Amino acid sequence: MPSTKIPQDEKRAKRLQQQKAWRDANKGRIAIAMKEWRTKNKIHIAKYTEAYRSDNAEYQNWKREYGKRYYQTVIKNDKQQLAQRQRYREAYDKAHPEQRKAISDRYRQSNRKLLAEKAKTAYHAKPADERKALRLARGEYYRQWREDHKDQLRDRNKQYRTENAQDIAAVARIHYLANRERLLEEQKARYKRNPEPHKERTAKWHKENPEKRREHARKWDAKHPEAKRARVAARRARFRNAEGTYTENDISRLFTEQHGCCTACAKDLGKQFEVDHILALFLGGSNWPDNLQLLCRTCNRRKGHMTPEQWAARIGKLFN
Ligand SMILES: [Zn+2]
């Protein structure tokens, strides 16, 4: 109904006009009053604004874009502003270390490749001595890290070796076959430098594995017949060159004196005895009967090239 609408519009327009006229007439007073109100309600306003902004994606976007633009066009070109910004940042970081760390972590996470590339370029741009210093520092850092995580590392390695035992053995085998000559050379060199531990280990093994030892010796002789022949020939030559002789009578006498038993293990000799040189021909012993004794085959093999003292110690007697 236009008849009622027109007067209302007129009334409203008149009221607005009056209000505007009042505001114009009281501009200064209004400004002062508003400023007072804002000052009085500062905290309230801030809270309200904060709540509004944090809920408002559009505002967040605007703020980010505006901030970027402002930085690019104004701050970046103004040394004073840049310095101030830097100060603000430092103050903020100092006051909020955890937030600072979170921001940095997030940034590093999402810019990993870029940062790695940058670091690489920067590293290669440095002079050689600085690069060396950096490498040393890094080595020191990792050394310290390993030192600090010793137990953890040991457990991890152990677990890894257990879980991958077969693969590790296969790789080791391949490596050994590919470097066999060099490795054997190195082993020989180690032995030459310090033979004692090796000798001790071997002696211990021989004592604990007599059958295997005999088996090895047999195999070795079969593989090297000329070496065996040379050994026998050398022994015969020593026998021929040694001082003194003995007869079958001397052996019979010995047999009686020993009551038909092995001097080492006291086993009945029967017909299975061997004539042993108490001081081996190899060590300068003679063929005279007083340097002879009868041993069972086993004991004679065990005695080998031992000196009388070594042999006595071995069989648990002070003298033979
Ligand atoms: Zn014996």
What are the tens digits of pLDDT across the range 108-161? Answer: 999 999 999 999 999 999 999 999 999 999 999 999 999 999 999 999 999 999
Give the distance (Å) from ligand 1 centre to CA of residue 98: 83
Give the distance (Å) from ligand 1 centre to CA of residue 296: 4
Euclidean distance between the first and the last CA atom of the chain, given in angstroms as a whole number = 146
Q: Identify whether residues 286 and 310 lie together within a single domain.
A: yes
Q: What percentage of the chain has pLDDT greater than the value 70? A: 97
Give the distance (Å) from ligand 1 centre to CA of residue 50: 103
Give the distance (Å) from ligand 1 centre to CA of residue 178: 47
How many residues can be counted in the chain? Answer: 320
Give the distance (Å) from ligand 1 centre to CA of residue 318: 17
Give the distance (Å) from ligand 1 centre to CA of residue 282: 21
Q: Identify whether residues 249 and 283 lie together within a single domain.
A: yes
Q: Which helix (H) or strand (E) holds 293?
A: strand 292-296
Q: Identify whether residues 206 and 229 lie together within a single domain.
A: yes
Whether 3 shows a pLDDT value over 80: the answer reads: no
**Residue 222 counted as domain residue:** yes
Q: Residue 318: what pLDDT? A: 60
From 205, 221, 241, the end of a domain falls on 241
Query: Which residue blocks in the chain are alpha helix, DSSP H?
Result: 2-25, 27-40, 42-55, 57-73, 79-95, 97-110, 112-125, 128-148, 150-163, 165-178, 180-193, 195-208, 210-223, 225-241, 248-257, 297-303, 308-315
Q: What is the CA radius of gyration of the chain?
A: 51
Give the distance (Å) from ligand 1 centre to CA of residue 217: 20
Q: CB atoms < 10 A from the CB of 115, how many?
A: 13
The mean predicted confidence, pLDDT, of the chain is 90
| pLDDT bracket for residue 320 (50, 70, 90) | very low
**Residue 161 counted as domain residue:** no
Give the distance (Å) from ligand 1 centre to CA of residue 286: 22
Give the distance (Å) from ligand 1 centre to CA of residue 139: 63
Give the distance (Å) from ligand 1 centre to CA of residue 298: 6
**Residue 153 counted as domain residue:** no
Q: Identify whether residues 267 and 214 lie together within a single domain.
A: no
Distance CA(140)–CA(144), nearest Å, equals 6
| pLDDT bracket for residue 272 (50, 70, 90) | confident
Q: How many domains does the chain have?
A: 2
CATH number, domain with residue 304? 1.10.30.50
Give the distance (Å) from ligand 1 centre to CA of residue 227: 27
Query: Which residue blocks in 264-305 are alpha helix, DSSP H?
Result: 297-303
Q: Identify whether residues 232 and 279 lie together within a single domain.
A: no
Give the distance (Å) from ligand 1 centre to CA of residue 268: 8
2 residue type, one letter: P
Between the alpha carbon of residue 199 and those of residues 72, 194, 302, the distances in Å are: 79, 10, 17
Supply the range of the domain harboring residue 249.
245-315
Whether 278 shows a pLDDT value over 60: the answer reads: yes
The token pair at 215 is 């088996």
Q: For 264, phi and psi rounded to 5 degrees? A: -90, -50
Give the distance (Å) from ligand 1 centre to CA of residue 237: 26
Distance CA(225)–CA(320), nearest Å, equals 34
From 207, 241, 275, the end of a domain falls on 241
260 residue type, one letter: G
Q: What percentage of the chain has pLDDT greater than the value 90? A: 60
From 241, 276, 298, the end of a domain falls on 241
The predicted-structure confidence for 213-259, as pLDDT tens digits, reads as follows 889 989 988 988 888 888 888 888 788 888 888 888 999 999 999 99
Show Cβ contacts of residue 115 under 8 Å, excluding neighbours closer than 6 positions: 108
Q: Residue 56: what pLDDT? A: 87
Q: Residue 135: what pLDDT? A: 94
Q: What is the mean pLDDT of residues 187-194?
A: 92
**Residue 231 counted as domain residue:** yes
The predicted-structure confidence for 64-80, as pLDDT tens digits, reads as follows 899 999 999 988 888 99
| Better pLDDT: 317 or 50 | 50
Give the distance (Å) from ligand 1 centre to CA of residue 320: 13
Q: Identify whether residues 199 and 255 lie together within a single domain.
A: no
